[in-house]
Amino acid sequence: MPAIARDLETLAIDRTADGFVVLVCSVPDHRHNVLTPLAVEELSLVLDDLAAGPLPRGVIIRSGRPGSFFAGADVSRLESLRTRPPAVIADLCARGKAVFAKLSATFPTAAVIDGACLGGGLELALACDVRVATPEPHTLLGLPEVKLGLLPGWGGTVRLPRLIGPGPAVEFAASGENVDAATALRLGIVDACVPAAAAVESACLLLAREVEQGGIVARRRRLAAAVDLDPVEREFLEATTAAVMLGRTGGHYPAPLAILETILAGSAVEAAAAAQLESAAFAALAASPPAANLLRVFMIGERNRRDSGVGGDAATAPEISPATAPAVIGAGIMGAGIAASHLRAGFPLTLIDLNAEALAAAVPTILEEASWNRAAKRSDAALAVQIAGRLRTAQRLAAIADTDFVIESVTERPDVKQQVLTEIEGMVGPATVITTNTSTNPIARLAAGLSDPTRFCGLHFFNPVRRMTLVEVVRGPATSDRTVAAAVAHAKRLGKCPVVVNDSPGFLVNRILMPYLHEAGELLREGVAAARIDRVARSFGMPMGPIELYDMIGLDTAFYAGLVLSAAYGDRIEASPVIPALVKAGRLGRKTGAGFYRYSGAGQRERIVGVDETAAGVIARYAHPRRDTNDRTITDRLLLPMLLEALRGLDEGLVRDGRDIDLAVIHALGFPAFRGGLLAWADSLGAAEIVRRLEPLAELGPRMHPTERLLAHAASGRPFTE
């Protein structure tokens, strides 16, 4: 078999003694293999050369980069799609499909999947005749395009339903979730699951057997034809799945419904026609605002992943040693959640609490949280036993003497925290990073008793810790770059999304959240129904309304946070008399069964049964004069004060970049990602329109007055997200 006379940058060509060709993929200048234009072009050229003869017995595609088959297309190039006409985008999809079609045109082909096989990477694998995956934990298969507001554009909606059926294909592609190799085998996405060392040999044997038995020809014929789907089954699938999707997305995300429609329409025709339907659907979604915003959010997340926290990427960050022996002080709700996150991430952990009963009670909860299986929606008992050996508990601070990263998470009382932090500093070595989990206490105040405040910062986790990905890394006046970089790196090792914030009352998230909650309370006092306020917020895309959120946070917690913020920003966040009155009446929210609403049931079965009568009486006691209010006015009143506070934060240097604000509100507050974040939503309105909407609200006080930054943007037309 002659050699291929080409200089290749992304592919290496190996040949087996029995006539198989192995294409080894390693895309340079990328952390994972991605389908760059060069990688696709070289694959096409090599396949053409091989097809020119003499033909190999089969072609095996595998990765030369451990842990990564292909992690999809080069996402950075997707940003340019929005500026291209739909016909051009559809043509780009068709070109990619034409390259992949070569994998099932002549010689038999197999994909050896070891590592991430996502998006276009999975579409490449689906284009092969057979797929062999490895059972390694890093081997994951998925079509995550829906999370970018798109659908698979290189044959995924064509081949997958012909391989596993339209129903399972819709569920797989519309969820955007990844599956492991065993699940992919059960679904029929891969043909075998074998250890990595035997994968290439197994792929060769599997191809040889399929050729001998005529399976390759039969597969290709079946995958080219229409899917035999009973009309009644199709109608049922379409109706029920569409209803579920609308319930989950509120109609704000068009991609899931487009996936359903494209798969059903494509299944009814031959594969060639289905491919054209897919390209057209992809082009339509690529031009949609949700896709642009979701792509922006993804790119912000990628920026955060590379950011060291001190103004540069990981390569320019201060040199730090990753923590290997962390400790958590305090076994309360937050301390237990933080401890569970460490165990889940593979850390050995020391947990300290002076209260033996609290410590003993926390351990089962920690192990349950750390071993939680999201797919099964329950904890994994075997995993809990396995990780229990990594948890060490103690009642004396002397147990942290050898730790290199400490997270203090005791009660929010500043005097208690200061005392504990001083004791921690006396116990640990000079290089140990000391952090505090606090949502309200100024870092400068807590650092006052430390002899070396440069190694101290805030590390604000959100509750529940397992579900909430954002962590605020709060830089105090004396905090060093090394400490910030160490805290950021540690949060990332926990699987969290850290945002660096300068010390300020409420930090970033609570400072932006409080105007939203405060305005909801003012609307209640004006006679607007709680259910209506919450409905309008959910219609905007928030996961829950502000009144529901009050009850979930706990009105006592909101009261104490409100005191801090009111003291700092009282001209625009005045303390409401409603919240302390409800706290005094024992109406604390869900945890007491009543707050603004009354609740029945518990856990997953907890339900709102109506407005609490006591709350209604308190609101009436502090009523404001009624105002003319429509749903858009409610939306403006809830969200524009958040934006104004964010703009003030930018003016004060609260964060290093406005993108951190958008990332934070999405991850911590559930601000709708399809709107791109708070600043991106403001750009969708335009600064001049925002100023116009604020004019009739000016009589409400400073909280509705435009900032100088807003007025400057309105005058210049500059976007907030430039």
Q: What is the DSSP letter of 325?
A: S
Question: What's the CA gap between 598 and 83, in Å, rounded?
Answer: 50
Q: Which two tokens stand for residue 549?
A: 């959120």
Q: What is the DSSP string of 400-444?
A: GTT-SEEEE---S-HHHHHHHHHHHHHHS-TT-EEEE--SSS-HH
Give CA angle at 163 (158, 164), nearest 5°. 110
Asked if 351 contacts 366 with a C-beta cutoff of 8 angstroms, the reply is yes
With helix as H, strand as E and coil as C, how does 46-112 read?
A: HHHHHHCCCCCCEEEEEECCCCEEECCECHHHHHHHHHCCHHHHHHHHHHHHHHHHHHHCCCCEEEE
Give CA angle at 468 (681, 653), nearest 5°. 50
Asked if 512 contacts 642 with a C-beta cutoff of 8 angstroms, the reply is yes
Active site residue 624: no
Run of H or E residues at 248: helix 231-249
Q: How would you class 380 by CB atoms within 10 Å of its CB: exposed for 0-12, middle for 13-18, buried for 19 or more?
A: middle
Question: What's the CA gap between 616 and 525, in Å, rounded?
Answer: 10
- Choosing from 252, 342, 460, 713, the catalytic residue is 460
1-38 as b/e, with b when 16 or more CB fall inside 10 Å?
eeeeeeeeebbebeeeeeebbbbbbebeeeebbbbbee
Alpha helices in 570-612 (DSSP H): 578-584
Question: What is the phi/psi pair of residue 372, to 5°?
Answer: -65, 130
Beta partners for residue 460, in sequence order: 472
**What amino acid is encoded at 531 in this protein?**
A
Question: What's the CA gap between 32 and 26, in Å, rounded?
Answer: 9
Residue that is written with structure tokens 């099932």 in the block: 104
Dihedral sign, Cα of residue 269, residue 272, residue 275, residue 277: negative
SS3 214: coil
Residue that is written with structure tokens 């059926």 in the block: 165
Catalytic residue numbers read: 460
